Structures are given as structure tokens and as C-alpha cells.
């Protein structure tokens, strides 16, 4: 276990101005607080926070972060309190320790929900101070290094969480070395057989190619030295998880992999990077399709490098990375290579972010497209998820994929996950553009909105303010931002539809009793049901979450002649119940109505227009068309289900009660409605074509055709046809019956 003076010396080596007294206090306090606590391995518990602090010294982090690492488990696992930490170490460190502590203090039902909520808490803490993430990643790394002492189920759960969340998050922050180690530890425990196979194969390849890496490295060094370029060259073997992932992704065997080794050339300037590239490409043949320039187009974690693959010495495929020394530090340590993790300090009397301070002088602030800036944007998107599982899904979508680079017409670079569509592109540009997106032009060619994008595509989005975005678009959206926006819009649209249904139900009920519907009264009644707005209350009525009669009583409690809840006798017809005072109550969600002969009033029914109405309306098997007598049945979570009065399925819903509904057809905007026909026709060539011709000539639209029975002389055909109304449908039926090839035509309600 590292001694106190050793830790302090490690920090002072890269930060001579570090607060030595702070580090000593934190070391002693944490050691005493953890006392005789032991880890699963039997080692003193204090060895864990000490190792976490040591990992962070390798990243050359500030003294406050090192102190936080030493203290990060004290509030959770000892008698220490936040107040005590604040008093001894200051509110800055107290806040960091508290942020890490809150992540663990949750009591949720499912492991999946626990994982999602823990990570949600982590991201909220990160959004205020990136050092929370750095300590958490170091904490996870040390836990993964000692995972063999845990129970098998804990190893599996921690490994899955590491591979799903923490390793990609380290990658998002550009901390590649830390990411690779996390991945390899998780790979070892999740897929032990694959891990063993890959590592054994690597040992074999290493023995077979003994000396090859050094030979290639020296050949590179000689070429660059001859050209007068000062460069450092190094070769390394790829990590087991990286190799296995490539095998899985490309569906190839280990024997087919030809680029197990990677070489890095590090130079002083960007100009030198491109000079090295020219020398390499003119010396050795390039491998087609294996060139990427991340200097001119950096990855979203600020990673910069040139990647190329050539056939090098011994005609061996050699993968090369060309970068400057500064780029190399960013590639290895990511966000930890900058001062982004600091909060604020005072400069010339003004508070500025530390990333704006360089050697005592203020410089331009870091742009929003920095890794931390993008992380804040990502967190804002992720936290819009409706539930923990949806949040976790969005998180994985944001963290996992490789990138594709596309451009706006003005040349703005948009980085997206591989497999992204113009819809994802639209949301990346602006939420409003995504909400109004209809289709797209890619490189001047008109394409559907679900077309997959490729590197270098120029994308133009077609928009329409009147466009209603289908929820089905979520299926081909790739980014969490796009999916979250689509789901949010779908929830809002669904709420509006149910609110309109609730409004019509309530208005109809009140109108039947001679009472005017007043929105303000509904708004005033909402708090009685623990809801904020009138729309919330009406949507609850429409969804059948709150009984209609309860809302009627709340909106008009003292209205003259309104029936009481007592005295109702159930009657089966249309789900009505007749009261002793002559009022009708439609069970559950039905309207209270006067008897027409007693009150001299006309029954008010809910008006529907069909599938395109604002109300959630579903047509049951057999369909219905204007002119049919129809009945509505409330279906929680779906809306109103419409049945033709002769439908045999209606009897299944007698216990629920029925809603009186009527057609509301706009003659200026005719709509088609579904009806099903059974046609028995002569089994002769051209029979189906003639039937289709008759339906088409009479203005009908065939939606589906099915041959249900075929004999030597006759065929029974079921046809789903869309018509404007009952007169139109009867005209089609009459036209079919008039043809000699048709023996029988009848409507189906199955």
C-alpha cells in the first residue's frame, strides 16, 4: 500500500504548487475513518481510495481531485458527514464527495432501473463538475482490477455496466488508455473463453513474428530520419477486446486479422504529420479504404490523428497513427489533458472559468463543441427520458457508435453515429428542424428521411410546419436526441388527443344536463384530482384514468337537477343504468343524459371523423362507414374503438358500457373509411381483375385482398375496401352484384 509521503511526492512532481497540507489531511482522515474495514480480498479498505488517488495522479489531476479520491467513500461507508467534510476540507471538496455519494444512495426495484438511476445521478453530478466523472472512472477501474474477489453475479453485473456505460463514457471524454483497460477487464469476466482464445492466439502470433515489430519500427525511423523529420516511433499490440470486437463486427476469424500490430509516429507540428504521411505513402503501397484524417475532422471527443494502413516490410499490413505530441496527450488522457475539470477562479477581480486562464492571462473560452460541452448537451437530452429504462437506452445510443461526418450546405460539419439518417442530422442541427423534417436531399438527390448517411454527404433537410411526425420514425432514428424528441412529441400528441376526447365527453355530458361547458371551471377542478392543468384533467378523463362522473360532480357540484350517485339500477342496453328520478347514467365513462321524452332534449353524442381526427379512434374488424349506426367503446391506452351496430364483437364489451357516437363528416374534405366485403365469384381467368376494375371505376380503394377459399368453379375473396360513406359502399356492392362473374356479395363484420 502506498505511503502518505509517496502519494504527496507523486502530486508535487507534476504540480509543485499543490496544497501539501490538504493532501496530508485527506490521507490521515480517510485512513482513520475507514479504520479496520476490509475489502472482499481481505485487504484494508483504505487501500481502495488510495489506489484510486494513485490512478488520478497518473492523469496529473489537481490536489482537490486527489483529496476527493481519498475521501470518496467516507460519507457512504463511515461515520463521516458532509458537514464535517466541508469544515475540514472546504465546500468544493465536500460537494465533489457528496456528488459521488448520492449516486449510490438509491433503493429501486429492478437492477436495470437501479443501473439507469445510478447513472442518471452520476450524469447530473458530472454536469456541474467533470471531476466527479474522473474520480468515478478511476474508482471503477480499480474495482475492475480487483474483480476476482467478488461473487460471480457481481462480476457479471459490474462487467456489463462497465462495458455498456463507463468504458464508452471514458471514450467520449477521450481517455483512451483508461477505456481500453476497462474494456479488457470486462471482456475477461463476461466472455472468459473468448478472452482466453484471443490472448493465446496473440501469444502465438507474437512468437511467430518475433522481431517483426522492431524491424518495422526501425524501418519507419530510418525513412523519417533520412527526410530530416524529428519523430518518435513506437509499435504496440492491439488489446484483446479491440481484436474481438473487430472479429464480431466484421464476422471474421482471428486468422483473417492482418493488422494485429499498430504503430504510432509522434512529431512536433501538424505540418510534420502530413510530411510523414507523404513519405509513408510514397514508400509503401496503401491499403484501399483504410485512410482517415481526424486532424482536419476531429472526433467528437477532440481526438486528432491521421490513420492509414500500408503494406510495409515483409509485405506485412501495417496500421499507422500520425499525430503531434499534444495530440498524443489528448488521445491518451482526453479531457484530463486540459484544465476543463476545474471550476472557477478570480482573475483581475472577475470570476472566469479556469479553462479561460493560461499563465495568469484570460484567453477565449472553450467552445461548446469541447468534450465536456458536448457531454453537458448529451446529459440535457438524456434526462428528458420518461423512465429509467428509456434513459439507459438513450445513453447507450449516445455512447456506443462510431462516427460519420456530414455537412450542411454552408459547410458546417455535423458528426453523427454510424448508421445515422437525415432525421438524426436534422435534430443535430436544431430541434425545430428535426420536428419539422419531412424528407432530405443528399448530395443534391432527393431521398427518404430514413436513408443511411455516409461520410462526406452534404445534407439539406426539407421541412413543413404542418407535418405530423409519425411515432414509427423512432425505429430508424439512431441518436438519443432524435429518439427522445420523437417520443416526447408522441407523448404530447397523445395527451392532446386524449384531452380532446375528455373535453368532448365532458361537454356532451354537461350539455345533456343543460349546463354549459366552461374551460375555467375544469381548470379550477384540476387540483382536486392532484393535477396541474385543465388539459391534464381532460386527458385523464379521455384515458379513463379518472371517472367522468367524478369530474362532472367537481365541475358542476350544485347544478340544479343533477342526479345523485345513489338510486341507479343497472340496465344492459347500451350500458345505460336508469335512475329513480329519470336520469340515464352510461356506466364508467358514459354521459349523463335526460330521457328525450321527459326533458324534451335531443341526445348529444360524441362526434368522430375517423382515423385522421384529433381523437384517438380505432375501427374494429369489419370497419364502419358514414351512414352506419355506430357505437363507441372506451379502450384504456388506445382511445375509442368504433363498432358497426351489427358487429358480433359488440357483445364482448357489454360489461364495459358503450358510448354514443355519431359521424362528423366534412363535405368539403371527404375522407375514406374501411369496410370489408366477401365476394363469391366464378373461378375464371381475369376474374379478380374485373372485380378490381369495378371497385376502381366506382371510386373505391382496395386496401387488401385475400383468397379464403378456392374451388374448381368458385372462389371466395375477402376484400378490404375504403369508401366515402354507406351510399358509396352500396353503389360498389350493386355494381359487383350486376356482373355475371359474381355470385354473391355481402359485408363482413369479423
Query: Which residues are catalytically annotated?
Result: 76-77
Cα separation, 352 vs 230, in Å, equals 38
- Provide the edge-to-edge strand list for the sheet that holds 568-570: 568-570, 576-579, 583-586, 592-594
445: its cell numbers: 438527390
Nearest CA to 739 out of 706, 684, 698, 694 is that of 694
Q: How far is the C-alpha of 300 from the C-alpha of 167, rounded, in Å? A: 16
Beta bridge partners, 261, equal 237
DSSP string, 122-167: HHHHHHH-THHHHHHHHHHHHHHHTGGGS-HHHHHHHHHHIIIIIH
Cell of 622: 369489419
Of 343, 347, 373, whose CA–CA distance to 355 is shortest?
343
Tell me the three cell numbers of residue 251. 464476422
CA-nearest of 649, 604, 605 to 624 is: 649
The Cα-based distances of 6 to 20, 49, 145 in angstroms read: 12, 15, 21
Q: Look at phi and psi of residue 455 and say left if phi exceeds 0, alpha if psi is from -120 to 50, else beta.
A: beta
- DSSP letters of 9-23? HHHHHH-TTS-HHHH
> Alpha carbon 18 to chain centroid distance?
42
CA distance 729 to 329: 75
Task: Of 129, 57, 71, give the one whose Cα is nearest residue 333.
Answer: 57
Q: Are 140 and 269 in contact (CB under 8 A)?
A: no
Buried-exposed string 73-100: b where 16+ CB fall within 10 A, e elsewhere: bbbebbebeeeebbeebeeebbbbbbbb
Strands 261-267 and 317-324: parallel
Contact 118, 106 (CB under 8 A): yes
Q: What phi and psi, each to the nearest 5 degrees, are found at residue 661?
A: -130, 155
Return the closest-CA partner of residue 623 out of 657, 646, 606, 595. Answer: 646
Closest CA to 601 of 589, 612, 592: 592
Q: Max alpha carbon distance in the chain (Å)?
A: 108
- Residue 718 CA: distances (Å) to CA of 113, 133, 730: 47, 62, 16
Look up residue 176 and give its three cell numbers: 483512451
438-470: buried (b, 16+ CB within 10 Å) or exposed (e) per residue?
A: ebbebeeeebebebebeeebebebeeeeeeebe
User: String of b and e for 705-732 (b: at least 16 CB within 10 Å)?
Assistant: eeeeeeeeeebbbbbbbbbbbbebbebb
Torsion of CA 86, 88, 89, 95, to 10 degrees: -20
Retrieve residue 598's grid coordinates. Answer: 321527459
Q: How far is the C-alpha of 653 from the C-alpha of 673, rounded, in Å?
A: 23
Amino acid at each position: 500500500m502506498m505511503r502518505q509521503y509517496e502519494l504527496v511526492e507523486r502530486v508535487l512532481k507534476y504540480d509543485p504548487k499543490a496544497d501539501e497540507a490538504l493532501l496530508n489531511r485527506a490521507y490521515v482522515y480517510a485512513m482513520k475513518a475507514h479504520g479496520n474495514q476490509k475489502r472482499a480480498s481481505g485487504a484494508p479498505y483504505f487501500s481502495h481510495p488510495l489506489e484510486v488517488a494513485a490512478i488520478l495522479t497518473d492523469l496529473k489531476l489537481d490536489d482537490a481531485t486527489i483529496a476527493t479520491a481519498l475521501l470518496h467513500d467516507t460519507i457512504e461507508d463511515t461515520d463521516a458527514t458532509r458537514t464535517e467534510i466541508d469544515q475540514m476540507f472546504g465546500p468544493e471538496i465536500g460537494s465533489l464527495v457528496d456528488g459521488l455519494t448520492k449516486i449510490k444512495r438509491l433503493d429501486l426495484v429492478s437492477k436495470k432501473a437501479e443501473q439507469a438511476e445510478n447513472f442518471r445521478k452520476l450524469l447530473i453530478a458530472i454536469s456541474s463538475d467533470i471531476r466527479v466523472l474522473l474520480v468515478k472512472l478511476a474508482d471503477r477501474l480499480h474495482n475492475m482490477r480487483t474483480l476476482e474477489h467478488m461473487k460471480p453475479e457481481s462480476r457479471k453485473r459490474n462487467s456489463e455496466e462497465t462495458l455498456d456505460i463507463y468504458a464508452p463514457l471514458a471514450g467520449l471524454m477521450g481517455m483512451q488508455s483508461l477505456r481500453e483497460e476497462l474494456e479488457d477487464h470486462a471482456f475477461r469476466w463476461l466472455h472468459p473463453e473468448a478472452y482466453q482464445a484471443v490472448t493465446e492466439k496473440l501469444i502465438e502470433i507474437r512468437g511467430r513474428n518475433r522481431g517483426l515489430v522492431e524491424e518495422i519500427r526501425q524501418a519507419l525511423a530510418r525513412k523519417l530520419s533520412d527526410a530530416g523529420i524529428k519523430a518518435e516511433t513506437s509499435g504496440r499490440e492491439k488489446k484483446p477486446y479491440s481484436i474481438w470486437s473487430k472479429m464480431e463486427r466484421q464476422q471474421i476469424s482471428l486468422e483473417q486479422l492482418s493488422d494485429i500490430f499498430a504503430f504510432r509516429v509522434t512529431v512536433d507540428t501538424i505540418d510534420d504529420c502530413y510530411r510523414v504521411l507523404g513519405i509513408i505513402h510514397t514508400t509503401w503501397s496503401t491499403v484501399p479504404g483504410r485512410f482517415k484524417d481526424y486532424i482536419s475532422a476531429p472526433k467528437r471527443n477532440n481526438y486528432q490523428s491521421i490513420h492509414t494502413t500500408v503494406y510495409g516490410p515483409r509485405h506485412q499490413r501495417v496500421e499507422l497513427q500520425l499525430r503531434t505530441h499534444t495530440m498524443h496527450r489528448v488521445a491518451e488522457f482526453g479531457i484530463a489533458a486540459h484544465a476543463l475539470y476545474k471550476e472557477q477562479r478570480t482573475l483581475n477581480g472577475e470570476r472566469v472559468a479556469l479553462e479561460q486562464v493560461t499563465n495568469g492571462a484570460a484567453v477565449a473560452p472553450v467552445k461548446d463543441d469541447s468534450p465536456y460541452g458536448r457531454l453537458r448537451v448529451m446529459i440535457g437530452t438524456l434526462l428528458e427520458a420518461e423512465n429509467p429504462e428509456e434513459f439507459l437506452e438513450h445513453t447507450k445510443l449516445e455512447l456506443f457508435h462510431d462516427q460519420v461526418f456530414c455537412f450542411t450546405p454552408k459547410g458546417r460539419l455535423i458528426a453523427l453515429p454510424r448508421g445515422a439518417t437525415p432525421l438524426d442530422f436534422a435534430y443535430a442541427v436544431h430541434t425545430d428542424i428535426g420536428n419539422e423534417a419531412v424528407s432530405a436531399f443528399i448530395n443534391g438527390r432527393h431521398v427518404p428521411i430514413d436513408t443511411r448517411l455516409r461520410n462526406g454527404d452534404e445534407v439539406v433537410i426539407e421541412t413543413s410546419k404542418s407535418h405530423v411526425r409519425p411515432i414509427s420514425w423512432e425505429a430508424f432514428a439512431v441518436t438519443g436526441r432524435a429518439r427522445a424528441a420523437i417520443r416526447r412529441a408522441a407523448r404530447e400528441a397523445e395527451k392532446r388527443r386524449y384531452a380532446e376526447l375528455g373535453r368532448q365527453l365532458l361537454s356532451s355530458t354537461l350539455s345533456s344536463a343543460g349546463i354549459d361547458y366552461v374551460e375555467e371551471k375544469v381548470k379550477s377542478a384540476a387540483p382536486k384530482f392532484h393535477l396541474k392543468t385543465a388539459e391534464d384533467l381532460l386527458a385523464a378523463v379521455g384515458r379513463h384514468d379518472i371517472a367522468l362522473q367524478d369530474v362532472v360532480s367537481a365541475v358542476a357540484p350544485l347544478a340544479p337537477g343533477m342526479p345523485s350517485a345513489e338510486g341507479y339500477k343497472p340496465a344492459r342496453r347500451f350500458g345505460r343504468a336508469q335512475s329513480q328520478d329519470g336520469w340515464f347514467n352510461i356506466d364508467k365513462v358514459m354521459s349523463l343524459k335526460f330521457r328525450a321524452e321527459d326533458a324534451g332534449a335531443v341526445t348529444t353524442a360524441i362526434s368522430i371523423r375517423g382515423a385522421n381526427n384529433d381523437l384517438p379512434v380505432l375501427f374494429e374488424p369489419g370497419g364502419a362507414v358514414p351512414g352506419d349506426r355506430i357505437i363507441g367503446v372506451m379502450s384504456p391506452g388506445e382511445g375509442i374503438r368504433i363498432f358497426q351496430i351489427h358487429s358480433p364483437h359488440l357483445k364482448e364489451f357489454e360489461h364495459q358500457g358503450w358510448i354514443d357516437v355519431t359521424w362528423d363528416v366534412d363535405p368539403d374534405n371527404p375522407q375514406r373509411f374501411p369496410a370489408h366485403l366477401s365476394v363469391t365469384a366464378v373461378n375464371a381467368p381475369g376474374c379478380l381483375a374485373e372485380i378490381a376494375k369495378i371497385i376502381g371505376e366506382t371510386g373505391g380503394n382496395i386496401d387488401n385482398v385475400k383468397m379464403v377459399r378456392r374451388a374448381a368453379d368458385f372462389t371466395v375473396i375477402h376484400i378490404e375496401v375504403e369508401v366515402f360513406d354507406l351510399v358509396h359502399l352500396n353503389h360498389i356492392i350493386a355494381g359487383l352484384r350486376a356482373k355475371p362473374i359474381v355470385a354473391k356479395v355481402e359485408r363482413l363484420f369479423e
